[in-house]
């Protein structure tokens, strides 16, 4: 199908993009278009103007900023997936990105687009929540930074306002942590039915710190704090991890759809959490 007509703008700076968004009623940011165009083509939505961020160089790239990595919003999945800094300091992102769709989608789709789209079944939001990422947002009033827990507000809803642009994402370094992204779906190209992002730091055989994020277990990505707490100080053994993982679905209200009901998703959350944590700890 053909989308309804729209005005197309391709600014070359963030300021220019923000001004365009501010000055035009019913304007929408266009990143890789892998989610937005699907919606436009089936005419579930239409916008008078699209502001394409593709020509803004400052939004692309990954840099080391001391104790954090900074990933530009327009960096494509295909770049993030193979970036050595990401692999060394935030491996969970490399692993989760590799599970997104197929090479074609990963070449067009962007890191920031995935986060700004805030699809509950998208893979990167739970990773961002687990890793305590923070989000730099530019608007008419300047730039502000929000934490992951504030950023994701609901299904397809984030802290990014209509005339704002997500500029970059700061991810604290998790150098030396074990990581695993356990994605459960039916065919390779499908979004997650449920997925679990886990990162653990071991001291000897003991879990010293743990981060666990859940994909598609509610309207926003969820940090499984009960599991994290239960893991700390435990040996990285199947039994100990199993006990902690039982609590994965605590306090969640997962969706029911053709792929399963809420009960099934709760059950999956604990099975997949166990597998993710054990794999992250290198004992899976």
Partner 1 sequence: MTSTQERPAAEIGAPRKRKEDARLITGRTRWTDNVVLPGMLHLAMVRSPFAHARILGIDTEAAENAPGVMAVLIGTDLADEQGALPNAWAVVPEQKAPTHPSMAVDHVAFAGEIVAMVVARTAAEADDAAELVDVDYEELPPALDLKASAADEVLAHPDLGTNVSAVWTFDSAESGTGQDVDAAIATARESGIVIEREIRQQRLIPAFMEPRSIVVDPTAEQLTVWSATQVPHFVRIFIALVLGIPEHKIRVIAPDVGGGFGGKLQFTPEEVLTVIAARRTGKPCKYSESRSESLMSAHHGRDQVQKVTLAATKDGTVTGFKAELLADMGAYLGLVTSAIPLLGALMYNGIYKFPAYRLTFTNVFTNKTWTDAYRGAGRPEATFAIERLMDELAAEVGADPLEIRERNWIKHEEFPFDTVTGMRYDSGNYEAATAKAKELFGYDALRAEQRRRRESGDPVQLGIGVSTYTEMCGLAPSRWLGSMGYVGGGWEHASVRMLPTGKVEVITGTSPHGQGHETAWSQLVADRLGVAFEDVEVLHGDTQIAARGLDTYGSRSLAVGGMAVLAAADRVIEKAKPIAAQLLEANVDDLDFTGGRFGVRGTESGMSMGELAFAVFQGHKLDGSDVERSLDADATLDPDDFSFPHGTHLCATEVDTETGGVKIRSYVSVDDVGLVVNPLIVEGQVHGGLAQGIAQALFEEAVHDESGTLLTGSFVEYLVPSAADLPAFVTARTETPATTNQLGVKGVGEAGTIASTPAVVNAIVDAVRHLGVTDIPMPCSPYRVWKALQEGTRS
In Å, how far from its chain's centre is CA 125?
2
Cβ distance to ligand FAD smaller for residue 74 or 212: 74
Is 255 in a helix, a strand, or coil? coil
Beta strands in 60-205 (DSSP E): 62-64, 68-72, 134-139, 142-147, 152-154, 157-158, 165-172, 178-184, 194-203
DSSP H helical segments within 170-237, as ranges? Answer: 225-231
- Residue 73 engages ligand FAD in binding (rule: CB under 6 A): yes
* From the list partner 1, ligand FAD, none, partner contacted by residue 112 (C-beta under 5 to 8 A by kind): ligand FAD
Is 89 in a helix, a strand, or coil? helix
**186 exposed, middle or buried (CB, 10 Å; 0-12, 13-18, 19+)?**
exposed
Is 274 in a helix, a strand, or coil? helix
Binding mask 241-260 for partner 1 (x = CB under 8 A): -----------------xxx
Inter-axis angle of helices 262-280 and 238-245, nearest 10: 150
- Residue 214 engages partner 1 in binding (rule: CB under 8 A): no
- Residue 98 engages ligand FAD in binding (rule: CB under 6 A): no
What DSSP character marks residue 54? T
CB 30 within 8 A of CB 61: no
- Residue 122 engages ligand FAD in binding (rule: CB under 6 A): yes
CB 77 within 8 A of CB 100: yes
Binder among 4, 45, 82, 238 for partner 1 (CB under 8 A)? 4
Q: How far is the CB of 37 from ligand FAD (least distance, A)?
A: 6
Rounded Cα distance, 226 and 246, in Å: 10
- Residue 66 engages partner 1 in binding (rule: CB under 8 A): no
Number of residues that bind partner 1 (CB under 8 A): 24
Number of residues that bind ligand FAD (CB under 6 A): 30
- Residue 194 engages ligand FAD in binding (rule: CB under 6 A): no
H-run or E-run covering 135: strand 134-139
- Residue 105 engages ligand FAD in binding (rule: CB under 6 A): yes
- Residue 33 engages partner 1 in binding (rule: CB under 8 A): no
Cβ distance to ligand FAD smaller for residue 115 or 240: 115
CB 49 within 8 A of CB 26: yes
Cβ distance to ligand FAD smaller for residue 137 or 244: 137
- Residue 32 engages ligand FAD in binding (rule: CB under 6 A): yes
Q: Footprint of ligand FAD on this chain (CB under 6 A)?
A: 28-36, 53, 73, 100-101, 105, 109-110, 112-114, 116-117, 119, 122-124, 160, 165-166, 189, 191
Q: Footprint of partner 1 on this chain (CB under 8 A)?
A: 1-2, 4-5, 41-43, 184, 186-191, 193, 258-261, 264, 267-268, 271-272
């Amino acid at each position: 199908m053909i989308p309804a007509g729209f005005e197309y703008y391709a600014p070359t700076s963030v300021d220019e993009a923000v001004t365009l968004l501010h000055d035009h009623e019913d304007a929408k940011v266009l990143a890789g278009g892998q989610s937005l165009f699907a919606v436009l083509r089936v005419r579930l939505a239409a916008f008078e103007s699209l502001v394409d961020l593709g020509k803004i160089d400052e939004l692309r790239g990954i840099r080391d900023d001391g104790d954090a990595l900074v990933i530009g919003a327009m960096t494509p999945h295909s770049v993030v997936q193979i970036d050595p800094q990401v692999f060394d300091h935030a491996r969970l992102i490399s692993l989760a990105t590799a599970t997104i769709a197929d090479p074609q989608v990963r070449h067009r789709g962007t890191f920031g687009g995935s986060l700004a789209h805030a699809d509950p079944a998208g893979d990167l939001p739970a990773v961002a929540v687990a890793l305590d990422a923070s989000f730099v947002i530019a608007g008419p009033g300047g730039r502000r930074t929000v934490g992951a827990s504030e950023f994701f507000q609901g299904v397809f809803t984030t802290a990014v306002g209509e005339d704002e642009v997500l500029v970059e994402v700061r991810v604290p370094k998790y150098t030396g942590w074990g990581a695993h992204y356990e994605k459960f779906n039916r065919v390779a190209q499908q979004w997650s039915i449920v997925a679990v992002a886990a990162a653990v730091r071991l001291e000897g055989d003991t879990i010293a710190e743990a981060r666990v994020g859940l994909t598609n277990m509610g309207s926003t990505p969820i940090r499984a704090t009960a599991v994290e707490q239960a893991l700390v100080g435990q040996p990285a053994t199947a039994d100990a991890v199993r006990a902690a993982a039982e609590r994965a679905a605590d306090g969640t209200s997962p969706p029911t759809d053709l792929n399963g009901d809420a009960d099934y998703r709760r059950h999956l959350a604990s099975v997949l959490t166990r597998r993710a944590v054990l794999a992250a700890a290198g004992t899976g």
